[in-house]
Amino acid sequence: MSELEKLATETRNQRTMALDDMDIMEVLQTMNDEDKNVPLAIEKALPQIKNVIEQIIQTFRKKGRLFYIGAGTSGRLGVLDAAECVPTFGTEPEMVQGLIAGGMKAMTVAVEGAEDSQELAKEDLSKALLSQDDIVVGIAASGRTPYVIGGLDYAKEVGATTASLACNKKAQISQHAQFPIEVEVGPEILTGSTRLKSGTAQKLVLNMLSTVSMIGIGKVYKNLMVDVRPTNEKLVERSKRIIMQATDCSYEQADQTFYRAEENVKLAIVMILTGADKNEAKEKLIAGNGFVRNTL
């Protein structure tokens, strides 16, 4: 038996040996039952996830950047999570970046051989000017992707913090990271198709990493996205609702203050809650390290 065949992500699911002979409802019920195991598997890894989040928060506080690196589905999920940080938390695109083996072309088309190259990851991170102030999170369902291993090793050479996310226990990439996360969800209903349970697990963990880290640097007040970027009409109206929800003010006051604050939701909230003008509110936020609660 090869090393690959020993991985839980590659073994055959005994519940679906006749997958092609099941009717649609049987397949759906089986998929649903298997997916229920994902959050339970993640629960076991919460202490590991916490360790990584603490490192990401430290990185952000010293103006460092978060890099997700991966190949195939794992890489795509990293790119997706990074992209969503910009509108949700008002971050600059450089603050959270997703690197995928084969480049952005690999988001939609498989780039043959890219994931097998350790050197390619080093090149990608080098182009991004990776520094010791940054953190690199390597993502691989199998836990053995060469591109990810190469990236983690290069990050270690540079002095950056390293973390990993795998869907197998005793994963190879865990040996190359200071802060490994291992979420073993078991065999897929379709053997080896790690875009299924493994992909779901990775998405849920990435949700945790980015969201909780952003909470940790003041980009949330109560449970509101106070650093949201109003880049379209829908988000402009959502911004005004957030101001209303955070301050219990009227729509008219939210609307007026939103524009007085130059469409900065967090600034508008502090202006209303403290009675400060725009410049005073800015000073309060600086003094409060960006946390609305610290201005009150």
Tell me, letter by letter, the H, E, C secondary structure of the chain.
CCCHHHCCCCCCCHHHCCHHHCCHHHHHHHHHHHHCHHHHHHHHCHHHHHHHHHHHHHHHHCCCCEEEEECHHHHHHHHHHHHHHHHHHCCCCCCEEEEECCCHHHHCCCCCCHHHCHHHHHHHHHHCCCCCCCEEEEEECCCCCHHHHHHHHHHHHHCCEEEEEECCCCCHHHHHCCEEEECCCCCCCCCCCCCCHHHHHHHHHHHHHHHHHHHCCCCCECCECCCCCCCCHHHHHHHHHHHHHHHCCCHHHHHHHHHHCCCCHHHHHHHHHHCCCHHHHHHHHHHCCCCCHHHC
- Of 54, 84, 263, 280, the catalytic one is 84
Do residues 290 and 269 lie in contact, with contact meaning Cβ atoms separated by under 8 Å? no
- Of 10, 115, 182, 188, the catalytic one is 115
Please confirm, yes or no, whether 3 is among the known catalytic residues.
no
Task: Using alpha carbons, select from 10, 147, 8 the residue that is nearest to residue 68.
Answer: 147
Amino acid at 18: A
Please tell me the distance from the alpha carbon of residue 118 to that of residue 243, in angstroms, as a whole number. Answer: 47
Please confirm, yes or no, whether 34 is among the known catalytic residues.
no
List the catalytic residues.
84, 115
